[in-house]
Structure 1
Amino acid sequence: MNKFLLLIDDKEEFKEDFKTIAQRYGYQIAWGKSFEDLKQKIAQLHLQITAVILDIKCLMTNDQEIEKEDFIGAAINFLSKEYPNVPRMILTGDEKALDGFKMFFNSEIEDIYRKEPEQLDALFQKIDKHYVELPNRLLSYDQLELFKLINEGESKHLEFKSSLQYCTKSQTQNKELRFEVLKNIAAFANSEGGSILIGIDDQKNILGLESTDFLTLKNENIEDEYRLLIDSIIENIFGNDFQKILTDLKFYVYEGKTICRIEVKNKNYSPTFIFRKRKDNSTSKAFFIRCFGSSRELTDVELNKYISAHWK
């Protein structure tokens, strides 16, 4: 990944000096001389730059000739509102302006450096730390949320499933696999709630529905068809009233791979049973609860004690 910085400083001679220093650290420079340039250039470059470097006094518009002390306040407020995740640093040789800045802003939340050799070294050391974090910053909120869930691993509130109705071994549709998803939904409903991520295997590998369940569907709007399929299955197994404890179905997309999240918000208002098919093709009611990393079936005395303890 190329290393870019955005420098906003109205002194072109300093820009050339800074460019030379930045090249020693492996960075390329985009430059602007005003608040006007800042707004224009960051809109184009915010997904590429590691950080914004701001002079403490600068022009507000390109047609001005005298730098303005209110530049830094306008720049920081703009960046905080529009680009809060883009690191910004202040670089100054004006001690008076620096003192004025500290009177109106909490300097602890800003990285401030003087235009001195030692300070410039410290500046680039901090920039390098931001560069390491750049890939994570460029991820969307949904992707960050997905990675957080995956890193947490299966737990009392999280289960991974490769698919809903597609066998990855035989590479064929197998509707009997639905039971594995449904029993976990029931287990969460009988416990404290939780989420199932479909499209991820037990080793936390992102398979994506494109290589599993989406192969069993036909419509062009495949996410809508998948949503309708799950709605239909939930209705048939648990009834429409069960939707009260479900959040809206959520899809995550990472590198072209789609993951579906089914979330049970909390324990159901009554015990949730599910019919299980036996080897002789008969069916029986089953009751599951969620343990630390799996769903466990309760029967007989255990079942009666659990229901008595959790539902009045």
Structure 2
Amino acid sequence: MQTKNVHLLLVEDNPRFLNELLEWLGDYGYEQIETATSVAQAKEKLGKPFDVIIADMRMEQDDSGFAVIDEVKARNLSSVVIILTANDTVSDCRTAFKMGAWDYISKNMRGNIFDILHESIQEAIAYFNRWGNVQNEQWINENIETLDRTYFGQYIAVINKTVIDAADTEEILKRQIEERQLRRFLTTIRKIGELRPISELIKLPESDRLEYKSTFQWDVRRNCENKDLRFSTLKTIAAFLNSEGGTLIIGVEDNGNIFGLEKDFSLLSNGNLDRLERTIIDSICQCIGSNFTQQIKIRFEKIDGKDVCAIYIKKSAKKAWLQKTNEKKLEFYIRMSNRSEPLDLPNIYDHL
């Protein structure tokens, strides 16, 4: 980030000092500067994105600078806050840093205060350009299991230890952040979980973590619909849930030939990717349980001009049972090598 592109908000109620501050910052090369003379005005201005906010401590109230920090945190804004005050105290300085201020600068310091402020801004830019937000990274690592359940396979944007947006790709997420006019200065973007592209997976043979199916409910041999084939997909999903997780690819034959999803689309009214995904999710909810959908991510890719579906399944802490439609019998599956195998009651007991 170049100096001329840094967006600054100056919150200062002393007109004389504010004009002097504007003049000095202009000399340093800052071009994107807006001002506010009160906390109320600052709150209105914060509807726009700023990288750095420089706030006086005592304006309408003695703790006006803290009110600015509180507002930034309440809105989950990605902004650095620097307190610049003539009424400096050790207590205020300590409180400012505990609240997350980047710096606390006294107007009574020796030397050129504006040089010191400029150095602080540049240090903030250099630090975050290089390291990002360490607190956000630590928070993500500490909460990775919870985030994994909610955002598995997605990119998330975190500000002030809060997920403010998520998307399937980094490009889409960045676009969403820009549309919300959030500066990315303090925004941490992280991918949660690893979803390998289908084009890479289909080069691999079937295993305890990977399986292929030609279709979801189209009978290739009989060349017609066969809804019983859904349970072939569902038992594989249940087996992955009960084992170490895995990926099920639909639209690819065992030999790696791309069969595609056109036949499955033809069995759905207005058949398309969304309708097929909804049908698969509904089947999971009905026969395995809606609470397991958090461990499942469905994606589509076009390979050799044909649509292919990948269902990524995470290992579940809760055991998954498969119940066929209109049947009371429950079945229990696990992965054994490259197969999904049912267990009888004694083996289920041993497994549990």
**Class of the TM-score when normalised by the shorter of the 2 chains:** 0.5 to 0.7
For 2:335, give the aligned amino acid: I
Structure 1 segment 122-201 matched on structure 2, within 5 A: 122-131=120-129, 133=132, 140-143=164-167, 147-150=191-194, 182=234, 184-191=236-243, 194=245
Please give the alpha-carbon distance, in whole angstroms, between the structure 2 residues aligned to 1:38 and 1:159: 55
- For this pair of structures, how many residues does the alignment match? 248
Shift of residue 52 of structure 1? 3.0
Shift of residue 150 of structure 1? 2.7
- 8 Å contact from structure 1 (residues 247, 264) kept in 2: no
Shift of residue 186 of structure 1? 2.1
- 8 Å contact from structure 1 (residues 56, 97) kept in 2: no
Provide the residue aligned with 2:288 in structure 1.
Answer: 242
Question: Unpaired segments of 5 or more residues in structure 1?
Answer: 61-67, 166-173, 200-210, 254-258, 275-284
Please give the alpha-carbon distance, in whole angstroms, between the structure 1 residues aligned to 2:269 and 2:115: 63
Shift of residue 18 of structure 1? 1.7
- 8 Å contact from structure 1 (residues 8, 34) kept in 2: no
Q: Taking structure 2 as the reference length, what is the TM-score of the superposition?
A: 0.50
Q: 1:127 to 1:37 in 2, by over 3 A?
A: farther
**Aligned pair 1:21/2:45, yes or no?**
no
Please give the alpha-carbon distance, in whole angstroms, between the structure 1 residues aligned to 2:29 and 2:57: 21
Equivalent residue of 1:54, what SS?
Answer: strand
Q: 1:296 to 1:19 in 2, by over 3 A?
A: farther
Structure 1 segment 52-131 matched on structure 2, within 5 A: 52-57=52-57, 59-60=59-60, 68-83=61-76, 85-94=77-86, 96-102=87-93, 104-107=95-98, 109-114=100-105, 115-131=113-129
Shift of residue 112 of structure 1? 1.0
**Aligned pair 1:297/2:299, yes or no?**
no
- 8 Å contact from structure 1 (residues 113, 120) kept in 2: no
Question: Unpaired segments of 5 or more residues in structure 2?
Answer: 13-17, 106-112, 134-155, 171-188, 202-208, 217-224, 251-259, 300-309, 325-330
- 8 Å contact from structure 2 (residues 55, 84) kept in 1: yes
- 8 Å contact from structure 1 (residues 53, 90) kept in 2: yes
Q: Taking structure 1 as the reference length, what is the TM-score of the superposition?
A: 0.55
Equivalent residue of 1:86, what SS?
Answer: coil
The partner residue of 1:31 within 29, 32, 35 is 35
Please give the alpha-carbon distance, in whole angstroms, between the structure 1 residues aligned to 2:226 and 2:164: 33
- 8 Å contact from structure 1 (residues 189, 268) kept in 2: yes
Shift of residue 229 of structure 1? 0.6
The partner residue of 1:4 within 3, 6, 17 is 6
Shift of residue 230 of structure 1? 1.3
- 8 Å contact from structure 1 (residues 189, 264) kept in 2: yes
Identity %: 18
For 1:141, give the aligned amino acid: D
Q: 1:88 to 1:244 in 2, by over 3 A?
A: same
For 2:125, give the aligned amino acid: I
Provide the residue aligned with 1:268 in structure 2.
Answer: 319
Provide the residue aligned with 2:110 in structure 1.
Answer: none
Q: 1:288 to 1:34 in 2, by over 3 A?
A: same
After superposition, the C-alpha distances for 1:1-30 in whole angstroms (9 at most, x for unaligned) are: 88332322321321232233243xxx6223
For 1:8, give the aligned amino acid: L
After superposition, the C-alpha distances for 1:141-188 in whole angstroms (9 at most, x for unaligned) are: 32389822237999xxx9899x986xxxxxxxx999978964551223
**Aligned pair 1:309/2:301, yes or no?**
no
Provide the residue aligned with 1:40 in structure 2.
Answer: 44
Equivalent residue of 2:289, what SS?
Answer: helix
Equivalent residue of 2:166, what SS?
Answer: helix
Q: 1:212 to 1:273 in 2, by over 3 A?
A: same
Q: 1:4 to 1:181 in 2, by over 3 A?
A: farther
Shift of residue 262 of structure 1? 6.3
Shift of residue 190 of structure 1? 2.3
Structure 1 segment 225-236 matched on structure 2, within 5 A: 225-226=275-276, 228-234=278-284
For 2:317, give the aligned amino acid: N
For 1:9, give the aligned amino acid: V
Shift of residue 233 of structure 1? 3.7
